[in-house]
Structure 1
Amino acid sequence: MSGSFEAKGPSASMDVGLSDSGARAMVKAELASTSVSAGPATATIGLSADTGAKISPTQVEAKVLGTGVSFGREMGVSFLGTGFKFKLW
């Protein structure tokens, strides 16, 4: 099992795309966050206002002001930027 740790400061970005593999539109704004990964699991503590959606044959994700869910290849839940996700394959 491998693990990693990451810390981030203030950032903002936008990601929009459409392809054969899916569609995505996400606006991201983050004050700060810290994440730790161990194997397929990642936990994040932070404050963000990510808003948007992503959809593909293997994944569906929706967030409003950093709160949302992800279903499919990666399962996850977040609340105002703090959350947990787990890669199934």
Structure 2
Amino acid sequence: MSTYNLKMGKNPGEFKFICTCTICGTKYQMGRHFYNGKHIPRYKLDVCQSCYDSNRDGWHPDFETTLLSHLKENNIPIPERNNEGLYPRD
């Protein structure tokens, strides 16, 4: 599951949601005017935009251990592999 941190912005009353990608561990910002990540409802997974874009055809084998661990921890069924032999991204 992703980690979220709420930080104060430069202006009074401005807050930033800083998230940590479940797949690669990169921190990224979400919230007002910032959408540097993606939520994947099928997996209840929050990932950075780079991981999302880089795995368009399915999750790269380097990420399978992390993905499968997340699925098991959250009691999410493991999907069948796609035609490319990868777990589908969405």
TM-score, structure 1 length as denominator? Answer: 0.23
Per residue, is there more strand in 1 or in 2? 1
TM-score, structure 2 length as denominator? Answer: 0.23
Larger radius of gyration: 2
